[in-house]
Structure 1
Amino acid sequence: MNNSSWTTTPVTASLLRGALDLEHTEHGVLPHRLPAWARAQIPDGQLAMAEAQPSGVRLAFRTRATSVELDTLRTKNAYVGAPPRPDGTYDLLIDGALFGQAATTGGNVLQVDMAAGTTETIPGPVGTVRFEGLPDRVKNIEIWLPHNEITQLVSLRTDAPVEVSPVPPGRRTWLHHGSSISHGSDAASPSATWSALAAALGGVELTNLGFGGSALLDPFTARAMRDTSADLISVKFGINLVNTDLMRVRAFAPAVHGFLDTIREGHPTAPLLVVSSILCPIHEDTPGPSAPDLGAMSEGRLRFMATGDPAEVAAGKLTLNVVRAELARIVARRAADDPNLYHLDGRELYGEKDFAELPLPDQLHPDAAAHRRIGGRFAELAFGTDGAFATDRGADADGPAR
Structure 2
Amino acid sequence: MTHWTTTPIDTRVLRGALELERTAHGVLPHRLPARARRLFPDAYLARVESQPSGVRLAFRTRATAVELDVLATKRAYRGGPRQPDGVYDLLVDGRLTGQASAPEGRLELIDMADQSSTVRPGPPGTVAFTGLPAEAKDVEVWLPQTETTELIALRTDAPAEPVPDRGRRVWLHHGSSISHGSTAASPTQTWPALAAARGGVELVNLGFSGNALLDPFTARAIRDTPADLISLKIGINLANADLMRVRGFTTAVHGFLDTIRDGHPDTPLLVVSPVLCPVQEHTPGPLAVDPDSPGLRFRATGDPADAATGRLTLTVIRAELARVTTHRAADDPNITYLDGRSLYGEADFAELPLPDGAHPDPAGHRRIGERFAELVFGAGGVWSG
TM normalised by structure 2 equals 0.98
Match of residue 353 from structure 2: 359
1:79-118 correspondence runs (5 A): 79-115=77-113, 117-118=115-116
1:230-379 correspondence runs (5 A): 230-296=227-293, 299=294, 301-379=295-373
Counterparts of 1:110 and 1:92, CA distance in 2: 26
1:84-106 superposed Cα distances (whole Å, 9 cap, x missing partner): 42211000101111111111121
Match of residue 58 from structure 1: 56
Instruction: State the 1:41 CA deviation.
Output: 0.9
1:151-188 superposed Cα distances (whole Å, 9 cap, x missing partner): 0001111111111112302x100010000000001111
Q: Over aligned residues, Cα RMSD in angstroms? A: 1.2
Q: Identity of counterpart residues, as a percentage?
A: 66
Range 116-125 or range 151-160, more displaced: 116-125
Match of residue 19 from structure 2: 21
Find out whether 1:211 has 2:211 as its counterpart: no
Counterparts of 1:249 and 1:116, CA distance in 2: 26
- Assess if the C-alpha contact under 8 Å between 1:222 and 1:262 holds in 2: yes
1:84-233 correspondence runs (5 A): 84-115=82-113, 117-169=115-167, 171-233=168-230
Counterparts of 2:81 and 2:236, CA distance in 1: 24
- Assess if the C-alpha contact under 8 Å between 1:233 and 1:273 holds in 2: yes
Counterparts of 1:204 and 1:384, CA distance in 2: 12
Counterparts of 1:359 and 1:111, CA distance in 2: 29
Counterparts of 2:151 and 2:296, CA distance in 1: 31
Counterparts of 2:320 and 2:368, CA distance in 1: 23
- Assess if the C-alpha contact under 8 Å between 2:43 and 2:115 holds in 1: no
Cα 1:10/1:117, change in 2 over 3 Å = closer
- Assess if the C-alpha contact under 8 Å between 2:89 and 2:187 holds in 1: yes
1:168-209 superposed Cα distances (whole Å, 9 cap, x missing partner): 02x100010000000001111101100000000000000000
1:266-295 superposed Cα distances (whole Å, 9 cap, x missing partner): 111111000000001110011111112234
1:252-279 superposed Cα distances (whole Å, 9 cap, x missing partner): 0011011111111111111100000000
SS of match in other structure, 2:380: coil
- Assess if the C-alpha contact under 8 Å between 2:51 and 2:147 holds in 1: yes
Match of residue 382 from structure 1: 376
Counterparts of 2:246 and 2:289, CA distance in 1: 25
1:120-142 superposed Cα distances (whole Å, 9 cap, x missing partner): 21221101100000000111100
Counterparts of 2:18 and 2:171, CA distance in 1: 14
SS of match in other structure, 1:311: helix
- Give 1:217's aligned amino acid: L
- Assess if the C-alpha contact under 8 Å between 2:213 and 2:238 holds in 1: yes
Range 39-48 or range 74-83, more displaced: 74-83
Counterparts of 1:200 and 1:81, CA distance in 2: 38
- Give 1:333's aligned amino acid: H
Match of residue 34 from structure 1: 32
- Give 2:185's aligned amino acid: A
Counterparts of 1:331 and 1:386, CA distance in 2: 20
SS of match in other structure, 1:209: strand
Counterparts of 2:77 and 2:211, CA distance in 1: 19
Structure 2, unmatched stretches of 5+, are none
Counterparts of 2:177 and 2:338, CA distance in 1: 18
Counterparts of 1:137 and 1:302, CA distance in 2: 47
- Assess if the C-alpha contact under 8 Å between 1:115 and 1:292 holds in 2: no
- Assess if the C-alpha contact under 8 Å between 1:282 and 1:306 holds in 2: yes
Match of residue 396 from structure 1: none
Instruction: State the 1:118 CA deviation.
Output: 3.3
Instruction: State the 1:83 CA deviation.
Output: 4.9
Instruction: State the 1:117 CA deviation.
Output: 4.5
Counterparts of 1:268 and 1:72, CA distance in 2: 39
- Give 2:236's aligned amino acid: I
Counterparts of 1:38 and 1:117, CA distance in 2: 19
- Assess if the C-alpha contact under 8 Å between 1:62 and 1:164 holds in 2: yes
Counterparts of 1:341 and 1:233, CA distance in 2: 10
TM normalised by structure 1 equals 0.94
- Assess if the C-alpha contact under 8 Å between 2:43 and 2:116 holds in 1: no
1:67-120 superposed Cα distances (whole Å, 9 cap, x missing partner): 011010111221234454221100010111111111112111111221465322
